Amino acid sequence: MDPVLLLLACATGAALTAPLGVLPLKSKRATPLRWVGWANALAAGFMLGNGIVLAEAGLAYPPLLGATGGLLGVMFVFWTHVVSGTVDLDLNQLQNTAPDYGYRILLVGTLHSAAEGIAIGVAMLHSVPLGVATAVTFAIHNIPEGTILGAVLIPKGVSRRHAAGLAAATNAGQVFLAVTTYAVLQALPMAIPVGVGFAFGSLVYLAMSELLPQAYHQAGTTAIALVASIAMGIVVLLGGTNL
Amino acid sequence: MTPAVAVFVYASITALATGLGALPFAFVKEISNRSISYANAIASGLMLGASFGLVVEGSEYGRLQTILGANLGVAFILLTQRLLRRHPIEFGSFQGSGARQMLLVMVVMTVHSISEGVAVGAAFGGGMKLAFVITAAIAVHNIPEGLAISAVLRPKGVSVAACAGWSVVSSLPQPIMAVPAFLFIESFRPALPYGIGFAAGAMVFMVLVELLPEAYDRGSKHATALIVCLTLVAMMLFQQTL
């Protein structure tokens, strides 16, 4: 299959898993946080592994451009939380959040998916397996994101169907950005190290600042073993190829 | 110097570095939670960079074996941790609560450096080219460990010199375990990717399960994540240019 079509299919697939996260939510029952923790651990392992593979490939380029991209990636993910006011999201307090928290969670989800789209595009440019692996990463990550979105919105009176629709809508941007990133980097090879740095920065920062701390609290040590195992497995299987 | 002696010397250096963790207490009475968090984050990034470097190296010898070894390393730390969790109960009635806490920290840190020693020895099996990188990474990693030990002992009235001494003692299993681990790796060349994988797996999981949670608890998630990203790349770059 043509890599662009494959990329389109993968990114779309990754975006469409988000509504699944709403499924386990019943209005009266508590959010299945243990499950969210395990999904986060799984996604963190993938992100760390994919990030390392990209960093390894990026080291072949002038470090300054890659570092610039990396800082941009880190800053972007951090900024999404500052601008949306979700820096200290507490998963144990999802039911009784402030009235405007619904908008914030939508905003942060939408902004996150921008970074995710760029990462999928860059990864696909590296190699088809890494592109697919990165899409799988976000397919996994988007499910608990959908769960959290639903856990915030449903107690505020949003129906499950609408919550599922909103979860999909917040991730629609990543399909567009994945394909755009791929096309722009192919047309402008000079920007590849910046793109690789950005993808690395956003992947590893997201895993380290959000997913891992959540996994510690919601799932425990065995889930963290999964993070280590998956990350190293990905580096072994997908590493060693250059852009 | 035969390789086994060299491994012992290098591992002894990393053990001695643990004593440096007591040094800040010579200047300040109390060290802030935030600086312990930063030190942990730095050590985490460096060790993650080093271990993923090992993973890449191991997969050049054999991909499947490396994955297998890595998972064994993870399982090893997981079991050691489980074992340690039972120990506090046994030590519980030993002495007063302050002494118990001190003893506990010493036991936890010492037993945990047994697995570190195995990881160090196995890491040297990858060749002496990486010796300096591994020594530096483990040495840097040991400093905040010494810092943590000292942070418990010092407020209880232990002198700075004794804090440094106890810190080094906690790391003594490193040179002792490193040599047999190294010799085993060397005499069984085909086992090399397993050993490298094991070292990486043990290190990665130890970082994720011991150092990072403490960094998150004592400081901010965002600062920790940023420091880990920076030091991880710095370590990878450092290894590649070496």
Query: Among all residues of chain B, which has the CA nearest to that of A234?
Result: B67
CA distance A28 to chain B (A): 32
- Does A228 sit within 8 Å of B204, measured CB to CB? yes
Residue A27 pLDDT class (50, 70, 90 cuts): low
Query: Cα angle vertex B56, ends A72, B144, to 5°?
Result: 65
Interval A66-78 mean pLDDT:
91
Of A52, A67, A228, the CB nearest to B208: A228
DSSP string, B48-112: HHHHHHHHHHHHHH-HHHHHHHHHHHHHHHHHHHHHHHHHHHHHTTSS-HHHHHHHHHHHHHHHH
Q: State the pLDDT at residue B155.
A: 64
Higher-confidence residue of A140 and B150: namely A140
- Does B71 sit within 8 Å of A55, measured CB to CB? no
Residue A46 pLDDT class (50, 70, 90 cuts): very high
Average pLDDT of every residue of chain A: 88
Tens of pLDDT along chain B (242 residues) come to 788 888 888 889 889 998 998 888 788 666 677 877 777 787 788 778 878 988 887 888 789 999 999 999 899 878 877 776 665 544 333 344 456 556 656 665 675 676 667 767 777 776 666 777 778 877 887 786 787 677 667 766 778 898 899 999 989 988 888 888 888 766 656 767 887 788 788 878 878 987 788 788 888 889 999 999 998 988 788 767 65
How far are the Cα atoms of A41, A83, A84, B104 from residue A103, in angstroms, in the given order? 26, 12, 8, 47
> How many CB pairs (< 8 A) connect A and B?
106
Higher-confidence residue of A22 and B235: namely A22
A220: left (phi over 0), alpha (psi -120 to 50) or beta: left
Using CA atoms, how far apart are residues B195 and B32, in angstroms rounded to an integer?
A: 38
Which tokens hold the place of B63? 């991909």
Higher-confidence residue of A106 and B101: namely A106
pTM: 0.80
Of A56, A227, A236, the CB nearest to B66: A236
- Does B52 sit within 8 Å of A224, measured CB to CB? no
Residue A239 pLDDT class (50, 70, 90 cuts): confident
Give the residue among A171, A123, A146, A138 at the shortest CA–CA distance from A43: A138
Secondary structure letter of residue A43 according to DSSP: H
At a CB cut-off of 8 Å and minimum separation 6, what does A66 contact? A58, A59, A193, A194, A196, A197, A200
Of B71, B74, B225, the CB nearest to A208: B225
Which tokens hold the place of A161? 């169907």
Q: State the pLDDT at residue B94.
A: 37
> Rounded to 5 degrees, what are φ and ψ at B96?
-60, 165
Q: Is there a contact between A167 and A38 (Cβ–Cβ < 8 Å)?
A: no
Give the residue among B169, B172, B167 at the shortest CA–CA distance from B114: B172
Give contacts of B 48-77 with A, CB under 8 A: 51-52, 55-56, 58-60, 63, 66-67, 70-71, 74-75
Give the residue among B138, B137, B160 at the shortest CA–CA distance from B149: B160
Q: State the pLDDT at residue A123.
A: 93
Of A74, A225, A237, the CB nearest to B229: A74
Q: State the pLDDT at residue B93.
A: 36
- Does A222 sit within 8 Å of B74, measured CB to CB? no
CA distance B147 to chain A (A): 23
Q: State the pLDDT at residue A82.
A: 84
Pick from A42, A209, A232, A241 the residue to mutate for testing the B interface (most B CBs within 10 Å): A232
At A169-227, the pLDDT tens digits run 999 999 999 999 999 999 999 999 999 999 999 999 999 998 999 888 888 888 999 99
Q: Is B208 on the interface with A (CB under 8 A)?
A: yes
**In the predicted structure, residue A119 carries a pLDDT above the cut 50:** yes
A157: left (phi over 0), alpha (psi -120 to 50) or beta: left
Q: State the pLDDT at residue A74.
A: 93
Least confident range of A34-48, A142-156, B125-139: B125-139
Give me the long-range contacts of B74-77 (CB less than 8 A, separation at least 24).
B74/A225, B74/A228, B74/A229, B74/B201, B74/B202, B74/B204, B74/B205, B75/A225, B76/B115, B76/B118, B76/B198, B76/B201, B76/B202, B77/B115, B77/B201, B77/B202, B77/B205, B77/B206, B77/B209
> How many residues appear in chain A?
243
What is the residue extent of each domain of chain A?
A: 3-21+30-238
Q: State the pLDDT at residue B205.
A: 87
Residue indicated by tokens 């380290």? A208
Cα-Cα-Cα-Cα dihedral of B46, A201, A78, B49, to 10°?
-10
Using CA atoms, how far apart are residues B90 and A141, in angstroms rounded to an integer?
A: 41
Interval A103-117 mean pLDDT:
88
Residues in A whose CB is inside 8 Å of some CB of B read 52, 55-56, 59, 63, 67, 70, 74, 78, 87, 200-201, 204-205, 208-210, 212-213, 216, 221-222, 224-225, 227-229, 231-233, 235-237, 239-240
